[in-house]
Amino acid sequence: MIEHSLSLCYHNKVILAPMVRVGTLPMRLLALDYGADIVYCEELIDLKMLQCKRVVNEVLSTVDFVAPDDRVVFRTCKREQSRVVFQMGGMGAALLSDPDKIEKILSTLVKGTHRPVTCKIRILPSLEDTLSLVKRIERTGIAAVAVHGRKREERPQHPVSCEVIRAIAETLSIPVIANGGSHDHIQEYLDIEDFRRATAASSVMLARAAMWNPSIFLKEGLRPLEEVMEKYIRYAVQYENHYTNTKYCLCQMLREQLESPQGRLLHAAQTSQEICEAFGLGAFYEETTRELNARRAEFLARTPEAVEEPAEDTSGIIKMAVKFDRRAYSPQITPKMCLLEWCRREKLAQPVYDTVQRPLDRLFCSVVTVAEQKYQSTLWDKSKKLAEQAAAIVCLRSRGLPEGRLGEESPSLHKRKREAPDQDLGGSRAQEPAVPGKLCKKPFVALGSGEESRLEGW
């Protein structure tokens, strides 16, 4: 596991460990609030990061790393600047059996960047082999090494080897960060220093103890879990954390309370709004969502989208290069809804969507037929729903019709039953997967859930 850190000192620090799915922005900010000195982000696969575009998100005041499919791979903000460590992974403990590769990777990183580089390892079966490995690692020029005091095959129920971490700390001249003391050694803040002394390490890194209750970093002692979870949820909503990640982290905090009434409500929640309602934060969710939508509308008004002129090709299909960005539209209105309402008012047949999946990359493209004219976006999308929304946008724009964007005067949709934004009104038909290489023909099935997408920055 390789970490690319900022200009950080690794002496006498209490650190949030890198954790899969847990180390997202809300958890990192919470750990910093409670006193963590350094926070490691969730594991980032270096190949994916190389494909990402850096985007300034003016609405959330964040910097987003956005994948080619418009998915936000990593999100950070100014508040954690100089205290967050970017963890590049995808290799894990499997590298322990290939010390030559470890040395080559670390040496390349150290030579190729002006930022300090650290790494995190588990111990090997023998102390001799472990000490031999960490000496090779130190020679690469890294700034510090974190040591999880368990072997590769050992799990949390196995005792952590404090004596091996101590031997490493006494052998190396660079800082050693002790990891693995959650539960057995560390249950409150005062235990952190005891664990550091037992391992002779320079600093201590916490994973499970911080995941269970991030206020473990607070010198004054643990805060009530209800208070901690509420604070976490507020960050999750403010920074538009995906509800599945929010739900996962809250489940880790609740642990044995998952069968409580509140735990059952959390387990049943399928949106961020439902999570907030389970914890009595429904009003906060609505207020925050209104504020973010207002900011988004203001941003869109300042930076109007460059509208491409529709063009008809030789096949008779009118095409434009557009994508559907859920965040640019009113919460309960989509282009497909607008198009359907317009067809109803004009007494036209319902729009028919022909959607095809490209086998090579499994992306989708849709053609919508309205009044015997076909419309299509030239950009392929990662889901059938998104591709259909893009096709509807092409139709609406080419006809000069409102499409439901924020700040735009939208047609009245009062005849339709309003549903939650993340609810699929199309029932089981909307969930039918497209067969690669074959068309999926169906009339309009309403609102599909939006995906995390890129906002053009400053």
Residue 51's pLDDT is 82
Mean pLDDT of the chain: 85
Q: Tell me how far apart the alpha carbons of residues 30 and 80 are, in angstroms, rounded to a whole number.
A: 11
Beta-strand pair 117-123/373-377: unpaired
- Taking CA atoms, 370 is separated from 290, 326, 410, in Å, by 34, 23, 19
Beta pairing partners, 368: 353, 375
Q: Which residue ranges make up each domain of the chain?
A: 13-221, 244-302, 311-399
- Collect all residues with Cβ–Cβ distance below 8 Å to 257 and sequence separation of at least 6: 263
Q: Where are the alpha helices (DSSP H) in 214-281?
A: 225-238, 243-254, 261-268, 272-278
Distance of alpha carbon 109 from its chain centroid, rounded? 25
Give the C-alpha separation, 439 to 458, whole Å.
39
CA distance 336 to 338: 5
The DSSP line for 396-434 is HHHTT----BTTS-PPP-TTSPP--TT--TTGGGGGPPP
Picking from 14-28, 134-148, 411-425, which range would have the lowest pLDDT averaged per residue?
Answer: 411-425
Percent of the chain at pLDDT above 70? Answer: 83
Provide the pLDDT for residue 49: 79
Q: Please give the Cα distance from 425 to 148 (Å, whole number).
A: 48
Written in H, E and C, the secondary structure of 143-191 is: CEEEEEEEECCCCCCCCCCHHHHHHHHHHCCCCEEEECCECCCECCHHH
Question: Residue for token digits 């994948």?
Answer: 67
131 pLDDT more than 60? yes
**What is the pLDDT averaged over residues 152-162?**
94
How would residue 441 be classed by pLDDT, with cut points 50, 70 and 90?
very low
What's the CATH code, domain 13-221?
3.20.20.70
- How does pLDDT run across 336-386, given as a tens digit for each residue? 999 999 999 999 999 999 999 877 667 899 999 999 999 999 999 889 999
The answer to whether the predicted template modeling score (pTM) of the entire model surpasses 0.75 is: no
For the cut 80, the answer to whether the pLDDT of residue 292 exceeds it is: yes
pLDDT beyond 80 at 243: yes
List all residues 6 or more positions away from 157 whose beta carbon is below 8 Å from its beta carbon.
none
Task: Give the chain's end-to-end CA distance (angstroms, integer).
Answer: 34
Pick the more confident residue, 358 or 166. 166
The band of 7, judged by pLDDT with boundaries at 50, 70 and 90, is very low
Amino acid 82: pLDDT: 87
pLDDT higher than 70, residue 8? no
**C-alpha torsion sign, points 258, 264, 268, 272:** negative
Which of 5-14, 72-81, 107-116, 178-187 shows the lowest mean pLDDT across its residues? 5-14
Q: Does domain 311-399 have CATH number 3.40.50.1010?
A: no
Distance in angstroms (rounded) separating the CA atoms of residues 17 and 42: 9
| Percentages of the chain per state (helix, strand, coil), in multiples of 5 | 40, 20, 40
Closest-CA residue to 15 (of 199, 215, 211, 217)? 217
Per-residue confidence band for 450, with pLDDT thresholds at 50, 70 and 90: very low
Distance CA 336, CA 391 (A): 9
What is the CA 131 to chain-centroid distance, rounded?
Answer: 36
Distance, CA of 273 to chain centre: 17
Task: Enumerate residues 6+ apart whose C-beta is below 8 A from 163.
Answer: none
Q: At what angle do helices 243-254 and 261-268 cross, to 10 degrees?
A: 160
Which stretch of 61-65, 226-230, 420-424 has the lowest confidence by average pLDDT?
Answer: 420-424
Q: What is the pLDDT of residue 428?
A: 39
User: Exposure string (b/e) for 341-363, b if CB count within 10 Å is 16 or more?
Assistant: bbbeeeeeeebebbbbbeeeeeb
pLDDT over 80 (residue 228): yes
Residue 425's pLDDT is 38
Q: Look at 52-66, 315-329, 429-443 and tell me which has the smallest mean pLDDT.
A: 429-443
Looking at residues 269-293, what average pLDDT do you find?
A: 95
Higher-scoring residue by pLDDT: 223, 332: 223
The yes-or-no verdict on residue 55 having pLDDT over 70 is: yes
Span 89-129, pLDDT tens digits = 655 677 898 999 999 999 999 999 888 999 999 999 999 99
